[in-house]
Amino acid sequence: MNYEQIKPLEKRIPAARQEAKRHYGVHPYFTRRPYNVVRDHILHYTQERDIVLDPFGGSGVTAIEAYLANRIGVQNDINPLANFIAEGIVGLSEASDDEIFYAYGKIETACKKILQDIHQKASFEEIPPDIILPPNVRLPRTADVENYHELFTTKQLVSLSILKNEIDRLNGASQKLLLLAWSGALARLNKTFISTHGRAASRGGSSIFSIYRYKIARQPVELDAWSVFESRFIALLAARKEIVSLIELRKRTAGWHGGFYCKSRDVIELQSEYSEKVDYIFTDPPYGGHISYLDLSTLWNVWLGLDPVPEAPEKELIVGGEMGLTEERYKSRLYQSITASFSMLKKDRWLSVVFQHWNIEYFKAILDAARDSGGELRSAISQIGDPIWSMHKKKGKSSVLAGEVILTFYKSGKMCVREPQHPTVSLECLVVELLAETNGNILYGEDLFNRIVVEAWKRGVLDELKITKEDFTHLLENLGWKYDPQKHLWIKGMLIEQQSSISLK
Ligand SMILES: C[S@@+](CC[C@H](N)C(=O)[O-])C[C@H]1O[C@@H](n2cnc3c(N)ncnc32)[C@H](O)[C@@H]1O
């Protein structure tokens, strides 16, 4: 394969989140990437047996898709929960049907009736003395409650404990599968779970994934623990069937040589192990604040006994969190992480980074690190038109960035010279120029924003671009565009004559 000759992908790939049972509905995780977008990138930039790395792997979409496409997928994440999910999904095909149903039968015999009886009880206040509970650790300051046990009702604590203790007595791949089902059930059997209004009580999600904190539901629902566990088990069986048939298909056609490795290191440290070994990287680093992955994964890590390495909290690439990590530190570690990623990539290979943020300095850290590592920006695709579900509930949607940009670089290894600043380009002109290039009468705000960032960076004026959400919205309005909140896009209307009030700070 001549990697240099590859023409970069230029068009948005519509997201098909729900089609792959191996990712959708198996176990919740934060900002999971649509599998088909990731898979199409892997297929485009690599060939079979290539090593594909995601240094910020999350729930493992990149490494799992690489593995199933006959590549060697390398998953890395500093958060043990992320690796537990990714390894769990890959491991689904490892046990036979007989083993799985035998193990499930044992759990059913030992727990189903007890759990159903607990669910039926009108009140259940006392925890029986033989129940083994997880450590009652302190929760992050943003949590509504102080300690771990307060995240659960007594019924939930006892039911989860009974189930987990039985699963712990099993072994092998079927035990791991059932533990993944238990962990998926844990996401619903706690007081942060909020039922979706007007739907069955079991439909909904945890505040951990919607508002990124431990918010306790005003009226916590107590779902039937056995049914929840059983539904997670059924979802895993569907995921397993899909994975097994994909592997079988490969075996019959190209031959099966997919591989999967899992690492739990800080990205910057991973480079010592993978220096110039990787054929393609597809990754989305944390986007600044909002999500403290480790803090929010305490719910799982504690009960599953998954301990992050002691230095993980201070190495996590976030702003804030319990450690109160600063923005300055985030920017410099983001730069170092992208530099480290390029150092793991072979020369003459490709790297894609997914990102979105209003803070242009974060983009600058990524773009500068790539350039300083001999990476040439070859494409910037906005994944627009796929607003995330929580968008529908947000106020002031016009300033919500609901689509990311996928920046793809080719590592030529040539050290590029920094663009001299273009003194004649004013930012206001740049925006007007880009709007003039827009075909048709509609545009997505995120697409324009991404194009502004990339164009300003290329012209060496990114440092000066200080545009706030409000400025951006006013700017478009003043240029005669109107926001359609239903479709989350901008429509060109009458051009307002007075454009002088455009404010670009
Ligand atoms: C945006 S998420 C990735 C989600 C993933 N693309 C998926 O589809 O599930 C970013 C991930 O980076 C991890 N992370 C944060 N800081 C890290 C670090 N210093 N080294 C390695 N991983 C880190 C977080 O735990 C989180 O899982």
- Give the span between the Cα atoms of 395 and 456, in whole angstroms: 29
CB 62 within 8 A of CB 75: yes
Banded model confidence at residue 302, pLDDT cuts 50, 70, 90: very high
- Starting at the edge strand that comes first in sequence, how are the strands of the sheet with 375-382 ordered? 259-263, 72-76, 51-54, 278-283, 345-355, 405-411, 375-382
pLDDT digits (tens, 9 = 90+) for 128-155: 999 999 999 999 999 999 999 999 999 9
> H-helix or E-strand containing 354?
strand 345-355
Which tokens belong to 27?
């176990």
Given the CA of residue 287, which atom of ligand 1 is nearest to it? 1
- Mean pLDDT over residues 311-322, rounded? 95
Given the CA of residue 29, which atom of ligand 1 is nearest to it? 9
Distance 295 CA to ligand 1 centre (A): 13
Distance 109 CA to ligand 1 centre (A): 38
- Pocket test residue of 75, 77, 212 for ligand 1, highest count of atoms within 8 A of CB: 77
CB 338 within 8 A of CB 353: yes
- Mean pLDDT over residues 294-310, rounded? 97
- Give the span between the Cα atoms of 315 and 12, in whole angstroms: 33
- Residue 107 is predicted with a pLDDT of 98
Distance 442 CA to ligand 1 centre (A): 34
pLDDT digits (tens, 9 = 90+) for 71-109: 999 999 999 999 999 999 999 999 999 999 999 999 999
pLDDT digits (tens, 9 = 90+) for 267-278: 999 999 999 999
Distance 58 CA to ligand 1 centre (A): 5
Distance 282 CA to ligand 1 centre (A): 12
Which tokens belong to 275?
């220096």
- Residue 392 is predicted with a pLDDT of 44
Which amino acid type is present at position 261? Y
**pLDDT exceeds 90 at position 436:** no
Give backbone dihedrals phi and psi of 279, rounded to 5 degrees, phi first. Answer: -95, -25
- Residue 476 is predicted with a pLDDT of 87
Given the CA of residue 267, which atom of ligand 1 is nearest to it? 20
**In this structure, which residue's CA is closest to atom 25 in ligand 1?**
79
Cβ(282) – ligand 1 distance below 6 Å = no
Given the CA of residue 82, which atom of ligand 1 is nearest to it? 27
Long-range contacts, stretch 114-118, CB < 8 angstroms, 24+ apart: 114/162, 115/159, 115/162, 115/163, 115/224, 115/225, 115/226, 115/229, 116/224, 116/226, 118/155, 118/158, 118/159, 118/225
Distance 456 CA to ligand 1 centre (A): 28
Distance 381 CA to ligand 1 centre (A): 21
Cβ(215) – ligand 1 distance below 6 Å = no
Given the CA of residue 79, which atom of ligand 1 is nearest to it? 25
- Residue 419 is predicted with a pLDDT of 60
3-state secondary structure 206-228: EHHHHCCCCCCCCCCCCCCHHHH
- Mean pLDDT over residues 114-128, rounded? 93
pLDDT digits (tens, 9 = 90+) for 226-255: 999 999 999 999 999 999 999 999 999 989
Cβ(462) – ligand 1 distance below 6 Å = no
Instruction: Point out the least confidently predicted range of 34-38, 49-53, 408-412, 492-496.
Output: 492-496
Q: Give the contacts of 219 (CB within 8 A, at least 6 positions apart).
A: none
**In this structure, which residue's CA is closest to atom 1 in ligand 1?**
286
Distance 241 CA to ligand 1 centre (A): 27
> H-helix or E-strand containing 313?
helix 312-315
Cβ(293) – ligand 1 distance below 6 Å = yes
Distance 31 CA to ligand 1 centre (A): 9
Cβ(286) – ligand 1 distance below 6 Å = yes
Cβ(65) – ligand 1 distance below 6 Å = no
| β-bridge partners, 442 | 491
State the residue for tokens 């001999």.
Answer: 374
Instruction: Tell me the C-alpha to C-alpha distance, in Å, between residue 315 and each of 333, 338, 366, 370, 457.
Output: 9, 14, 18, 21, 28
3-state secondary structure 480-505: CEEEECCCCEEEECCCCCCCCCCCCC
**pLDDT exceeds 70 at position 495:** no
- Residue 118 is predicted with a pLDDT of 96
**pLDDT exceeds 80 at position 394:** no
**In this structure, which residue's CA is closest to atom 4 in ligand 1?**
58
- Beta-strand pair 259-263/278-283: unpaired
**In this structure, which residue's CA is closest to atom 26 in ligand 1?**
58
What ranges in 123-224 are assigned the alpha helix state H?
Answer: 154-168, 172-186, 207-210
Which amino acid type is present at position 309? V
Higher pLDDT, 498 or 200: 200
Q: Is 205 helix (H, G, I), strand (E, B) or coil?
A: strand
CB 222 within 8 A of CB 157: no
Cβ(78) – ligand 1 distance below 6 Å = yes
Banded model confidence at residue 421, pLDDT cuts 50, 70, 90: low
pLDDT digits (tens, 9 = 90+) for 358-393: 888 999 999 999 999 999 999 999 987 655 444 444
- Give the span between the Cα atoms of 411 and 74, in whole angstroms: 19
CB 283 within 8 A of CB 354: yes
**CA gyration radius for the chain?**
24
Taking alpha carbons only, the member of 218, 244, 337 closest to residue 284 is: 337
- Mean pLDDT over residues 314-338, rounded? 96
> H-helix or E-strand containing 427?
helix 427-437
Upper half-sphere CA count for residue 414 (Cβ side, 13 Å): 7
Which amino acid type is present at position 123? S
